[in-house]
Amino acid sequence: MNVWIAWLLAVPAFAALSQAMERHGAQDHGSLPPARVLWIWRGAGVALLLGALAVCLHHWGTSVAVAAWIGVLTFAALAVALVLTYAEHRLRGLAWASLVLAIVGMVTR
């Protein structure tokens, strides 16, 4: 369960980080948003990654938590990469949905 919550947080985290990248963040007219916006995306991404770490630390001892967190990061990044490959236009929707599910998961347990 916790591993899923951590994963659901890490997916929007990587989605946000990808939106601050030249290759994935370009808008409809083909240019990146202003630097200030990019820093917001990066900040949100890092914060969510740390949130996922916090979920792991809450559930496990430090050493197991860090190992689990790193594993979760791998599969969240893999999921984001696959969405960017096959359904790029869905990324934002899926990322928000994932974030909502993570919050629901945290509140209900």
* Alpha carbon distance 18, 94 (integer Å): 14
Per CB under 8 A, 42 contacts other proteins: no
Q: How many residues line the site for other proteins (CB under 8 A)?
A: 29
Per CB under 8 A, 85 contacts other proteins: yes
Q: Considering only CA atoms, which of 4, 8, 38, 34 is closest in space to residue 21?
A: 38
At residue 88, the 3 state secondary structure works out as helix
Per CB under 8 A, 106 contacts other proteins: no
Q: Applying CB under 8 A, which residues contact other proteins?
A: 2-3, 14, 18, 21-24, 60-64, 67-68, 70-75, 77-78, 80-82, 84-86
